[in-house]
Homo-oligomer: A and B are copies of this chain.
Amino acid sequence: MALRHAVLAALLGEELSGYQLAKAFDLGVANFWHALPQQLYAELTRLEHDGLVSGREVVQDTRPTKRLFTVTDAGLAELERFAATHNKPSFIRDDLLVKVQAADHIAADVLIAKLTERAVFADAKIDLLGGLLRKLRGDMSEEEFLRYGERVGPYLTCLRGIAFEQGNRDWCRRSAAILEQRRTAHARG
């Protein structure tokens, strides 16, 4: 039951619908957790049932009726309790790494293409998250924001997301270059 805490954390300080939450979990919030819309709708229902969030219906004229959720005091207490529990180490689980692990036994060109593709994707995400950072800190400098700003939590997780993607990108580019070099050497030798 870790998704519940991710949802609670994402919902802190703002009032969001399942749909908005789903967008956040797809793009931005995916820095600290990833989940599909179906999971979120189900989890929100459960959280409301358990009294950890409370939802209110908002009828709109041009759009379908939506439900906006906020974290309750009980929800905040649950997060506080969760924060003190033991962390599971975070493992990477990545298709692309599996493919690279097999690099000595499969076609290099396919791998190089996948690595390049991922590097491009990483760059796009870095840009996206960079925009999110700027939005979070407003007209403050990063140093100033980290000292005095409100909502440093989302800022810090966003920084981790960016660093992660930079790591991805750099590793992808380097690995692609190495495989390319070896392929060329092999073709010659």
Contact = CB atoms under 8 A, between A and B. Distances in A.
A88 B95 contact: yes
Interface string A22-50: 00000001111110000000000000000
Contacts of A59: none
A13 B104 contact: yes
A87 B93 contact: no
A92 B31 contact: yes
Given A90-B92, A101-B10, A185 B147 contact: yes
Nearest to A99: B83
A12 B101 CA distance: 9
B105 A13 contact: yes
Nearest to A143: B178
A98 B12 contact: no
Interface string A4-25: 0110111011000000000000
B150 A104 contact: yes
A111 interface: yes
A12 B92 contact: no
A102 to B, nearest CB: 4
A10 B167 CA distance: 23
Interface string A101-124: 111111100110010011001000
A103 B79 CA distance: 10
A146 B83 CA distance: 42
A122 to B, nearest CB: 9
Interface of A: 2, 5-6, 8-10, 12-13, 29-34, 76, 79-80, 82-85, 87-107, 110-111, 114, 117-118, 121, 146-148, 150-154, 156-157, 159-161, 163-164, 167-168, 170-171, 175, 178-179, 181-182, 185
